Amino acid sequence: MHPEIRTHKNAEGHWVHEVPVDGFRIESEEDIARKREYAQREDARKRNTKYYVTSYHEPVRGLTTMLSLNELGAVMKLIPYMHMDNAGDLYLNGKRMGSAEISKVIGKAARMTATIVNSLVKYGILTEDKDGRRKVYAIHPEYHTIGRALKQGESFTKIYQMKTRSDVKNLSIQAAGLLYCMIPFFHYRLCYLCTNPDERRADRLDVITQASLARFLGVDDQTVRRGLRELSKNGFIMRSESLGVTVIKVNPDVMYRQKFDNDEYTQALRYDFEQHRKASESGHGLDDADLPF
């Protein structure tokens, strides 16, 4: 304690600090809490939190029942390229994206890209425009928005652009599609996959395992296993024992749902993902064959 601050018991038996008027200031617990919250907001603002795409659960869930895994993977690879100042227009290196640019981003040949783009336009996830003689594309705001007011009353997940853009290029289009399918099942606080992602009580969570994920998506187990292995290797997900079952956790630097992302639980989860990354790089990570599902 500072030597100029004296502590003693008063006549009522309460401990009292005597603080000099000059050079010191007394703050209430409320003031301290307010400053702490402000510091958290500033930390969140300075990190990459403003660079996110808002993904609406119900429309996204509808897409997962209509589109193939390849088509969903294309959407997952494209949404990090939505432009903040242009209401969902897709940009690559400062240029609006046409089929050639989409081909580069999704890693498919021109013919396959044309098939995928046509399907995405048909189902309304992509909108088509003209830039001179070129056809250029944007993501429809029914599904994803950036830099816009949120739709009131709708559950949504934030997809951080920085992490996703840098790492999603390492994924196969099917693994990216599997990641996209996880969006509406992402728990708002624990970052688990579950069928009731807005549930506040942890003991009521209906956790989605690898086997149930395959059933949910109508995809064979081998495809899901292969996709989860890719997602785990590239730091998008992590599988671990929790609540008595093996759960799938999503990296909070990829997806997040709360206002601030620097609370104690999220920081601990980030640490777990960092240790998981180091273990994978050293060859000591958990292999699928070791998992009980």
Residue 26 lies in a domain: no
pLDDT for the residue numbered 290: 44
Alpha-carbon span 192 to 209, nearest angstrom: 10
pLDDT in tens, the chain (293 residues): 556 667 767 777 777 667 665 666 667 777 776 666 556 545 544 554 458 899 999 999 999 999 999 999 999 999 999 987 667 899 999 999 999 999 999 999 999 999 999 999 999 999 999 999 999 999 999 999 987 766 667 889 999 988 788 889 899 999 999 999 999 999 999 999 999 999 999 889 898 987 788 887 778 889 999 999 999 999 999 987 766 677 899 999 999 988 877 788 999 999 999 888 888 777 655 554 444 33
Residue 1 lies in a domain: no
Residue 92 lies in a domain: yes
Structural domain including 97 reads: 51-256+264-280
Q: What are the tens digits of pLDDT across the range 32-68?
A: 766 665 565 455 445 544 588 999 999 999 999 999 9
Residue 12 lies in a domain: no
CA angle 227-188-267, nearest 5°? 85
Residue 78 lies in a domain: yes
CA count, 13 A, side-chain hemisphere, 72: 22
| pTM of the predicted protein model | 0.78
Residue 42 lies in a domain: no
Residue 184 lies in a domain: yes
pLDDT for the residue numbered 97: 97
- Alpha helical stretches, state H, 158-287: 161-168, 173-181, 210-217, 221-233, 264-282
Q: What secondary structure letter does DSSP report for 90?
A: B
Any idea what the CATH number is for the domain that residue 198 is in? Answer: 1.10.10.10
Q: Is 197 within 8 Å of 184 (Cβ atoms)?
A: yes
Domain count, the chain: 1
Residue 134 lies in a domain: yes
pLDDT for the residue numbered 87: 74
